[in-house]
Amino acid sequence: MLRKRIITAAILAPLVILAIFKLTNEQLAVLFAFVTLVGAWEWSNLIGYNQLVKKLIYVFLIAISIIAVWLFIHDPLELVFFSIVGVWWVVLLFVLMIYKSEWLKSKLLHKILIFSGFIVLVPSWFGLVKLHDYGIAMLLFFLVIIWVADIAAYFVGKRFGRNKLAPELSPGKSREGLMGALLASVLVAYVGIQIFSLDKNTWAIFVILCVFVALISVVGDLYESLLKRSAGVKDSGKILPGHGGVLDRIDSITAAAPIYVLGLKWVL
């Protein structure tokens, strides 16, 4: 499994980086929208939409939402938009800390999972597009935070993991792995300070932002785990060997991208 993950990542990462460098902001927005809609298709499966018509309607509504955000959400509405999404993820941070498996029997949870596809997928698409608009380096740096945190969590957890982070949601994650991810994000933040030549007055805020982005990326991962548990499946799909589906690959990004954009609006 690890070998497949590495091979898939080795193929995808250069393609993503190439697209970021070569495509215009509008072209990249279309590409990211396509990936988001694939994720929406997987989301429709996980919330129990078995009929083709229902799946297509769900994907269509996500597409309409993406277009609406692209056309109508501009400054100063962007700050309000990302702030609302930020509150959603912060609330989830605390909610998932007290998660109980009995929740899976709740009809309310199922309704939340249906509606939250819009809150999770559309803002993450918009966040990535805005980061690219800020500059190629800014988007690449964000992805580096996520990738490094994910790698650190995996290997630190595998080597030192003893205490489960969320045993009822994702038994493979450990508190030690989380600490490894957060410490790695501090190192990445230091590199970012040098790259972007940030003013000393913003250093502490930037480090906190990077650490919080790494933390909230784990929340995105856990929320997708909740979605998969509600559906009784291990992966969101099979399109990516070693990773599962698109949602399995972008779950961390869905939470972290809006938070990072919101933080940058303060830092910059």
**Poorest-pLDDT segment among 4-13, 35-44, 204-213:** 4-13
Residue 11 has pLDDT above 70, yes or no: yes
Q: Which of 213, 215, 192, 214 is nearest to 203 (CA)?
A: 192
pLDDT of residue 69: 97
Judge residue 105's burial from the number of C-beta atoms within 10 Å of its C-beta, 0-12 exposed, 13-18 middle, 19 or more buried.
exposed
pLDDT of residue 6: 78
Six token digits for residue 96? 């998932």
Residue 1 has pLDDT above 70, yes or no: no
Average pLDDT over residues 76-88: 95
pLDDT category at 242 given cuts 50, 70, 90 is low
pLDDT of residue 237: 86
Q: What does the CA dihedral 158, 161, 164, 166 come to, rounded to 10 degrees?
A: -50
Backbone angles phi, psi at 232, to 5 degrees: 75, 35
Residue 223 has pLDDT above 80, yes or no: yes
Whole-prediction pTM: 0.94
* Cα(155)–Cα(11) distance, integer angstroms: 21
pLDDT of residue 183: 97
Average pLDDT over residues 139-162: 93
